A and B are shown apart, each in its own frame.
Chain A
Amino acid sequence: MTAVEEVPTSAAGNPIGFGSMKRVEDQRFVRGQGNYVDDVNLPGMLHSAILRSPFAHARIKSIDTSAAEALPGVVAVITGKTLEGIPRPSLLGDNFAWMPTLSYDTQAVLATDKVRFQGQEVAYVIAESRYIAKDALELIDVDYDPLPPVMDAKKALDPDAPVIRDDKGQTDNRITDVHGNQTWESGNKEGTEAAFAAAAADPDCVIVEEDILYPRVHPAPMETCGSVSYLDKVTGQLTMYTTSQAPHAHRTVYAMVAGLPEHKIRIISPDVGGGFGNKVGVYPGYVLSVIGTIVTGKPVKWMEDRSENLMSTSFARDYHMKAKIAATKDGKILAVDVYVLADHGAFNGVAQPTNFPAGFFHIFSGSYDYPNAHCLVEPVYTNKAPGGVAYACSFRITEAAYVIERLVDCLAQELQMDPAELRLKNLIKPEQFPYTSPTGWEYDSGQYEKTMRLAMEMVGYDELRREQAEKRAKGEYMGIGISFFTEGVGAGPRKTMDILGLGMADGIELRVHPTGKAVLRLSVQSQGQGHETTFAQIVSHELGIPPEDIEVVHGDTDQTPFGLGTYGSRSTPVSGAAASVVARKVRDRARIVAAAALECSPDDLEWELGRWFVKGDKERGKTIQEIALLSHGALELPEGVEGHLDATAVYNPPNLTYPYGCYICVVDVDPGTGQVKIRRFVAVDDCGTRINPMIVEGQVHGGLADGVGMALMELIAFDEDGNNLGGSFMDYLLPTSMECPDWELGETVTPSPHHPIGAKGVGESATVGSPAAIVNAVIDAISPFGVRHADMPLTPANVWRAIQGNPVRVDMAVE
């Protein structure tokens, strides 16, 4: 099935099924009636603020909170020492000063012995207003004993490097995961080594090696993180309004961490102003707001500043990669090997499935057909904020797609071959699907060449190459960059994928009321993806109930079934599948009810959109609305069949889905200043069935802007003293309407064979695929100056220095 079938339109003008329907959530947002966490105000609510460390690494000698406590309007001041004194009645850890991370490490809620990154939480003030809370921060006197920090990941494993996690009794800065591993390996090591050895000895082969950095960046959603927590002492109910992409997972984590009974915890993610992976983890601020309400007996609000968001919440990437590719001289790829030094910050807080400590990075072998690939990831602690998996990375697939696409362009340059031609020579062919990659992924479906040729046609590839040649002769520098990516989303099969022991299968619930209106309760949580619209469309597609008659409920753990939330583009592949499955259950029940009403056998009935009818006698049938009333009525039902028209399901995906695409970017570079102007960007995506093309395109537009940001300007760098140089929007630069071109989108549709409606998901595709297209274009533009690679972000300074043959090191402060 595809998404281009004609569907009827409802009375309200909506497609009964898939199509570009306007969003129902817009009605409140355009009126300024959204309900975000900072809009939540409960009676008697207090405000709070966190004092943060100015040092990246320092011992805490003493903290004097007396002046802060004496400030009028201050209700309480809490330090790590306070928390150490509260024993934790639960499984995880001795006291409340430390909490588990999503990677089975521990993270300080408030620093006790040392501070381990600039911006780390040191004290917590609860006051009558946010202004007073911030005033009080200045009155807290912390006596620090600064220690030398580890800021350069490349020096973290030096024998004389300062040890960061002495709290765990470590004597080095290596990270050990829950399985006891200190490095993470994937692929075929022997075969890859042999392939490289053979290539090295073969005059008809080449090996290209390159150091490729994916620098530290930050998801920076427009709404920062925060929570309003209220523990009602009479009922024992804890209610938390919080910016969470995974409210149910958070509920379970709070139950385990705080020792509170889970059935008395209600997490509500109201409207969330963007997530992008920033709002998956449990931050100390949330935990502190819970502690705050326990201590004060009142609701406590914590909303972080933007600087806190950038300096302490989950960063993304920071993968220092050494990559090499072996190929024949006529362009057949033979093997790829990647070593990664992974900078995880001071606590290992990556949010990814337990069995995948480097996420899905091992999909780095990419979209090409060759037998040998191997990677080794070596994670280290540094004195920086924790995180790593965030910013629409699909669990490190951003890093994987970037490294292979950069490497292929480096190979193209080495071979003096057109990068499009090189890719076409190696793309996996349609008949090879399902394709098992050399690192063990089973790609479900794809028509790679078709997608790529469409992108090339849309951009006018051959004419652009002609134009480039003419311009070069005149000393003008334009570049064309291609990125062909395959990603894997929709985590995932519960057998292999869990986070903190919670399997990644999601529940769903559908009820059809007597008058034929329906309510669908989801486990996933929108942060702008339009779930209230698209999930109604899935049910509409299956049952023929108009979308305007279907209410979608999400975000409140009291009102929705358990699931692992929205990130890694999993809503459509997992919860979308669940919606289809549960709607089909309802449809099957409806068949039995219809048969009972029509006094025939269910086998005598056939389905058309919205109606079961008797085969060969189309006039005789019952609409789904009629069936809804009948199922709630007095109709006698067969033995063993229950009444009403409700169903639940838990969807355990059999595999990931594999959306893919081909992006082509055209840039003009001013070599006198290093400035890059993006002239055009063509994006052809294949995400299988497109439930709402308008929303699919919006998702792609947003991800492409991320690429502009990361390729050209976004960076969290540090200096050697430990200062975070990207701690505000003055230095952490996000792309505006001026840097983003008018995106040109195309599509191919190759359904996923294992997904009930063939949909793959698309939320992160553009963020995954776009940086390489832009970087490849810039390098292509300046390659006449002898440049084969330069690291992101390609700011004017960095481009100019690359042209001079003196590239800067982007992640550490400029000399």
Chain B
Amino acid sequence: MQTPAPVDYVRATSVENAIALLQEHGEEARLLAGGHSLIPMMKLRLARPEMLIDINDLDELRGIRVEGDEIVVGAMVTHAEVLDSPVLAEHYAIFREAEKVIADPIVRNKGTVGGSMCQADPSEDLSAVGSALKGSVVVQGASGRRTIPMREFHEGPYETKVGDGEILVEARYPVRPGAGSAYEKVERRVGDWPVCSAGAYVVVSGGVVTDCGIGLTAVGAEHFAAPEAEAFLVGKAPTEENLAQAAQLAADSCDPNSDQRGPADYKKHLAMELTLRALRRSAAASQGA
């Protein structure tokens, strides 16, 4: 098995301590949460930090709770906890549906929401979920906290707005009574990254879509979102034709690459097909079906 390059290790005792350690060690330090993105990269020697700051003792970054009109998910919440959370399930089916197809059950015991968001893989499912729900992340640095909308969070593949000396502390998702949500993923095999995933929430009221969000991953959708498709759908009845047209708009806004998971034309088609299926089920759920 491949092994990491030499590295130093320290455990943070609090969020402030983690920030101080980040500042002390600079660019060559990385935060270690679940480790299931970072350690594989270190073993392949694609990542060579000089210092690992282990934040697993930071219980203040754990927990899922509702705070007013937002659901707050701590950065150290694991994928397994998201999957099993009754709080999240009560509000959005999309969380459970997405987590069921993220990685595998054992990896989900360690991988964290904060870790996945900050790894910012262009195929990350949680990024599609977060963008679909128009969530935000809270980042803390020496000068305090700031909130960044998830649709502004990514600067590029594997790059986010989290600055040097900053740590993502929580993810926030708006509460939306009456919303139905769903997640659709095509993968070559269980546990694989998506060929394409699409997630959505839809609020249907008075026979029309009053609110919706569409998130896509692995297909080059800007900020993992499809705002043109959303704008089209709001105010319209959730008929098959309207949903299909919205799905096509979502696919049009994607720019997938051909790779071993599939050729670009197939991924474009999936962007349409999976968005359509997610919208269909979300609309039906919103209408109590």
Q: Do the two chains touch directly in the complex (Cβ atoms below 8 Å apart)? A: yes
Residue count of chain B within 8 Å CB distance of chain A? 26
Pick from B5, B192, B266: contact of A800, CB under 8 Å: B266
> Which residues 269-289 of B have a CB within 8 angstroms of A?
269-270, 273-274, 277
A600 at the B interface (CB under 8 A):
no
B190 touches A736 (CB 8 A): yes
- Binary CB contact string for chain B from 169 to 196 against chain A (1 if under 8 A, 0 otherwise): 0000000000000000010111110010
B186 touches A796 (CB 8 A): yes
A307 at the B interface (CB under 8 A):
yes
- For B265, the chain A residues whose CB sits under 8 A away are 801
> Which residues 661-687 of A have a CB within 8 angstroms of B?
672-675
In chain A, what residue has the closest Cβ to B189?
Answer: A733
B273 touches A795 (CB 8 A): no
B2 at the A interface (CB under 8 A):
yes
A797 touches B266 (CB 8 A): yes
A305 touches B258 (CB 8 A): no
Pick from A712, A736, A815: contact of B258, CB under 8 Å: A815
- For B270, the chain A residues whose CB sits under 8 A away are 673
- Binding stretch for chain B, among A27-35, A129-137, A574-582: A129-137
Bound Cα distance from A712 to B188, whole angstroms: 8
Bound Cα distance from A109 to B65, whole angstroms: 60
- For B277, the chain A residues whose CB sits under 8 A away are 672
- For B45, the chain A residues whose CB sits under 8 A away are 138
Pick from A725, A738, A739, A796: contact of B262, CB under 8 Å: A796
- For A813, the chain B residues whose CB sits under 8 A away are 260
Distance to closest chain B CB from A50 (angstroms): 12
A814 touches B262 (CB 8 A): yes
Bound Cα distance from A738 to B192, whole angstroms: 13
- For A135, the chain B residues whose CB sits under 8 A away are 5-6
Distance to closest chain B CB from A292 (angstroms): 19
Distance to closest chain B CB from A782 (angstroms): 15
> Which residues 248-265 of B have a CB within 8 angstroms of A?
258-263, 265
> Which residues 189-206 of B have a CB within 8 angstroms of A?
189-192, 195
B3 at the A interface (CB under 8 A):
yes
B195 touches A796 (CB 8 A): yes
B191 touches A736 (CB 8 A): yes
A731 at the B interface (CB under 8 A):
yes
* Given A713-B189, A736-B189, residue A134 in contact with residue B258 (CB < 8 A): no
B269 touches A814 (CB 8 A): no
B269 touches A305 (CB 8 A): no
- For A307, the chain B residues whose CB sits under 8 A away are 2
Bound Cα distance from A584 to B274, whole angstroms: 66
- For A795, the chain B residues whose CB sits under 8 A away are 188, 262
A739 touches B3 (CB 8 A): no
A517 at the B interface (CB under 8 A):
no
A510 at the B interface (CB under 8 A):
no
Most chain B beta-carbon neighbours within 10 Å: one of A672, A797, A813:
A797
* Given A717-B260, A725-B260, A814-B260, residue A797 in contact with residue B189 (CB < 8 A): no
B1 touches A305 (CB 8 A): yes
- For A528, the chain B residues whose CB sits under 8 A away are none
A754 at the B interface (CB under 8 A):
no
A814 touches B191 (CB 8 A): no
A735 at the B interface (CB under 8 A):
yes
Pick from A134, A138, A733, A808: contact of B192, CB under 8 Å: A733
B189 touches A814 (CB 8 A): no
- For A674, the chain B residues whose CB sits under 8 A away are 186, 266
> Which residues 84-102 of B have a CB within 8 angstroms of A?
none
Bound Cα distance from A104 to B176, whole angstroms: 71
Pick from B1, B186, B263: contact of A673, CB under 8 Å: B186
Bound Cα distance from A532 to B164, whole angstroms: 60
Most chain A beta-carbon neighbours within 10 Å: one of B189, B195, B259, B269:
B189
Pick from A675, A712, A717, A735: contact of B186, CB under 8 Å: A675
Bound Cα distance from A815 to B277, whole angstroms: 28
- For B258, the chain A residues whose CB sits under 8 A away are 814-815
B186 touches A814 (CB 8 A): no
A585 at the B interface (CB under 8 A):
no
In chain A, what residue has the closest Cβ to B267?
Answer: A797
B1 touches A306 (CB 8 A): yes
- For A672, the chain B residues whose CB sits under 8 A away are 273, 277
* Given A305-B1, A673-B270, residue A808 in contact with residue B263 (CB < 8 A): yes
- Binary CB contact string for chain B from 146 to 180 against chain A (1 if under 8 A, 0 otherwise): 00000000000000000000000000000000000
Bound Cα distance from A135 to B259, whole angstroms: 31
* Given A130-B3, A808-B263, residue A800 in contact with residue B269 (CB < 8 A): yes
- For A305, the chain B residues whose CB sits under 8 A away are 1-2
A797 touches B3 (CB 8 A): no
> Which residues 732-757 of A have a CB within 8 angstroms of B?
733, 735-736, 738-739
What are 29 A-B interface contacts by the 8 Å CB criterion? Answer: A130-B3, A131-B3, A134-B2, A135-B6, A305-B1, A674-B186, A674-B266, A675-B186, A712-B189, A713-B188, A725-B260, A731-B260, A733-B188, A733-B189, A736-B189, A736-B191, A738-B190, A795-B188, A796-B186, A796-B195, A797-B188, A797-B261, A797-B262, A797-B263, A797-B266, A800-B266, A801-B266, A814-B258, A814-B262
- Taking A730-B192, A797-B195, A801-B265 as given, write out 17 further A-B residue pairs in contact, using a Cβ cutoff of 8 Å, ordered by the A residue number: A134-B3, A138-B5, A672-B277, A673-B273, A674-B266, A725-B260, A731-B260, A736-B189, A736-B190, A739-B190, A795-B188, A796-B195, A796-B262, A797-B188, A801-B266, A813-B260, A814-B260
Residues of A within 8 A of B (CB): 130-131, 134-135, 138, 305-307, 672-675, 712-713, 717, 725, 730-731, 733, 735-736, 738-739, 795-797, 800-801, 808, 813-815
* CB-based closest 10 A-B pairs: A797-B262, A738-B190, A733-B189, A797-B266, A814-B258, A672-B273, A814-B263, A131-B3, A673-B186, A795-B188
